[in-house]
């Protein structure tokens, strides 16, 4: 029977794929080379499709895979399209919609079969058509109905779980509470988490687009120039990248290979803790009086003093260790600042507030901006410098008895504090 228009298009798509792969492999061969003719025969549609149907069991289409958890883990992988998942209020694979990237695991030598099934016709992949048992695709595969049906069955097996559902000693497991009594062993479910490969790939592509596309770069430049841009600037602070697969990322999965093993990890940070005891700094003339009473500050100062009292050797190791503890004090000051900035703006305008202008502007920036605007006064422009100098003076005062600290140390502490403030203002990023 003659093929319909859609059937002919599908057959042409398949033939074009095989022709391109054949020509790629023949490029370095002379026409009279025996291997040249062998390749021509190997990539005849009937020959290649029959071989692909035999090899497809060596790979498995997945959306959630086990090998990223541990490369030696051998257990169940799942193919769970977003449409098959329950809708939730949190971000997950269910958010991907119909346009998601399926992954594949297994023998890397059989990945050409998956590339074949990823071919698209009218915005649907051949794999989608295979799973739908599309009649036109069957006719495009072979004029022999039985042969076409056999190939469809074989290709459809790409998404089937392999063997019985199982975890592995190299996999991760965790007990998830489902009851109210944590002492009741029956009140937990044992979960074996898998890596959401399709979701991870969408995250990676989105971040690449937001960081390195020409449109994103133009938007960042417009922001620096104070110009308008229709595209918003998206930033990913404290982004980490996990490498999976080492020098052979294809051994983890196909999508991992496409990412060259790079998997983005968004910052997982706790929210700024606002204690029930958090109150405006009233009745004190400097924030450092309250800051210095914090447990982390007192403990770090104690360790720093003990270290410096030993008169350590003046070398790179000593400077690095000292710098690490000073950085801890700076981090604690920034944390203290972040907590106070969660208070309602304007607390520094109360008569009870005795802080100087720099400290009020530092801790209550919105409140000070409102108050200064109402009074027709400009905002201070040297707040960062004032806070840096105040921190350096405070630290020198803590160390001066019994250590001989002076101007060199003051300049060092002030420089480190000022650099950290500026880094925070920039977001500590330089995407260009």
**pLDDT at residue number 432:** 36
Q: Say how many domains are in the chain.
A: 2
> What are the DSSP calls for 333-395, one per residue?
HHHHHHHHTTSPTTGGGSTT----HHHHHHH-HHHHHHHHHHTT-PPPS-HHHHHHHHHHHHH
- pLDDT of residue 266 exceeding 50: yes
Residues 152 and 291 in one domain: no
Task: Answer yes or no: pTM beyond 0.75.
Answer: no
- pLDDT of residue 172 exceeding 60: yes
Domain housing 95: 5-159
For 262-270, what is the mean pLDDT?
87
Task: Give the pLDDT confidence of 19-70 residue by residue, as tens digits.
Answer: 999 999 999 888 888 899 999 999 999 999 999 999 999 999 899 999 999 9
**pLDDT at residue number 123:** 86
For 145-155, what is the mean pLDDT?
94
**pLDDT at residue number 160:** 84
Lowest mean pLDDT among 116-120, 350-354, 428-432: 428-432
Residue 31 falls inside a structural domain: yes
Confidence of residue 102 (pLDDT cuts 50, 70, 90): confident
Residues 149 and 293 in one domain: no
- pLDDT of residue 271 exceeding 50: yes
**pLDDT at residue number 63:** 93
Give yes or no for a contact between 187 and 178, defined as CB atoms under 8 angstroms apart. Answer: yes
Residue 189 falls inside a structural domain: no
Residue 213 falls inside a structural domain: no
- pLDDT of residue 151 exceeding 60: yes
**pLDDT at residue number 275:** 56
Under 8 Å CB-to-CB from 426, ≥6 apart: which residues?
none
Q: Look over the chain and give the mean of its residue pLDDT values, rounded to a whole number.
A: 89
Could you give the dihedral angle defined by the CA atoms of residues 346, 351, 355 and 361, in that order, rounded to the nearest 10 degrees?
20
Q: Who has greater pLDDT, 368 or 3? A: 368
Residue 208 falls inside a structural domain: no
**pLDDT at residue number 273:** 61
Q: Which of the listed residues 141, 159, 177 is the one where a domain comes to its end? A: 159
**pLDDT at residue number 430:** 41
**pLDDT at residue number 276:** 53
- pLDDT of residue 1 exceeding 70: no
Give yes or no for a contact between 399 and 305, defined as CB atoms under 8 angstroms apart. Answer: yes
Task: Give the pLDDT confidence of 330-388 residue by residue, as tens digits.
Answer: 999 999 999 999 999 999 999 999 999 999 999 999 999 999 999 999 999 999 999 99
**pLDDT at residue number 97:** 87
**pLDDT at residue number 272:** 64
Q: Taking the CA of residue 115 as centre, how many other CA atoms within 13 Å lie in the half-sphere pointing to its CB?
A: 11
- pLDDT of residue 429 exceeding 50: no
Residue 114 falls inside a structural domain: yes
**pLDDT at residue number 351:** 93
Q: Which of the listed residues 104, 134, 159 is the one where a domain comes to its end? A: 159
Residue 255 falls inside a structural domain: no
**Share of residues in the chain with pLDDT > 70 (%):** 97
- pLDDT of residue 278 exceeding 80: no
Residue 203 falls inside a structural domain: no
Residue 248 falls inside a structural domain: no
- pLDDT of residue 217 exceeding 90: yes
Residue 110: φ, ψ to 5°: -105, 10
**Share of residues in the chain with pLDDT > 90 (%):** 60
For the chain, the straight-line distance linking the first and the last C-alpha, in angstroms and rounded, comes to 59
Q: Which of the listed residues 116, 134, 159 is the one where a domain comes to its end? A: 159
């Amino acid at each position: 029977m003659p093929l319909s228009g859609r059937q002919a298009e599908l057959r042409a798509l398949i033939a074009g794929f095989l022709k391109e792969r054949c020509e790629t492999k023949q490029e370095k061969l002379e026409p009279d080379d025996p291997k040249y003719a062998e390749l021509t025969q190997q990539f005849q549609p009937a020959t290649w499709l029959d071989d692909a149907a035999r090899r497809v069991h060596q790979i498995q289409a997945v959306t959630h895979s086990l090998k990223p958890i541990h490369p030696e883990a051998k257990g169940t992988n799942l193919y769970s399209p977003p449409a098959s998942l329950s809708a939730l209020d949190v971000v997950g694979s269910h958010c991907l919609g119909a346009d998601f990237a399926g992954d594949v695991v297994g023998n890397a030598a059989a990945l050409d079969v998956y590339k074949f099934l990823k071919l698209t016709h009218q915005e649907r992949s051949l794999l989608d058509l295979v799973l739908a048992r599309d009649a036109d695709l069957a006719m495009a595969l072979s004029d022999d109905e039985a042969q076409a049906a056999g190939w469809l069955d074989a290709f459809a097996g790409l998404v089937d779980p392999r063997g019985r559902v199982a975890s592995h000693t190299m996999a991760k497991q965790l007990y998830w509470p489902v009851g109210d009594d944590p002492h009741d062993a029956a009140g937990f479910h044992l979960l074996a988490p898998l890596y959401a490969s399709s979701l991870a790939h969408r995250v990676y592509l989105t971040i690449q687009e937001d960081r390195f596309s020409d449109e994103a770069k133009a938007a960042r430049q417009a922001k620096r120039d104070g110009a308008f841009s229709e595209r918003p600037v998206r930033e990913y602070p404290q982004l980490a990248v996990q490498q999976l697969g080492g020098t052979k990322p294809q051994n983890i999965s196909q999508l991992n290979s496409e990412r060259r093993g790079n998997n983005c990890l968004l910052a997982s940070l706790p929210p700024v803790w606002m204690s029930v005891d958090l109150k405006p700094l009233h009745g004190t003339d400097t924030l450092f009086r309250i800051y210095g009473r914090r447990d982390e500050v007192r403990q770090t100062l104690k360790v720093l003093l003990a270290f410096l009292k030993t008169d350590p050797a003046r070398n790179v190791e000593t400077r690095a260790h000292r710098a690490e503890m000073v950085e801890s004090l700076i981090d604690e000051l920034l944390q203290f600042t972040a907590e106070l900035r969660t208070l309602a703006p304007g607390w520094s305008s109360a008569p009870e507030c005795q802080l100087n202008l720099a400290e009020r502007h530092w801790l209550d920036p919105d409140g000070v901006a409102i108050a200064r605007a109402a009074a027709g006064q400009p905002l201070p422009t040297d707040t960062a410098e004032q806070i840096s100098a105040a921190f350096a003076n405070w630290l020198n005062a803590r160390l001066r008895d019994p250590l001989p600290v002076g101007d060199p140390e003051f300049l060092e502490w002030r420089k480190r504090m000022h650099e950290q403030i500026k880094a925070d203002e920039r977001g500590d990023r330089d995407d260009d």
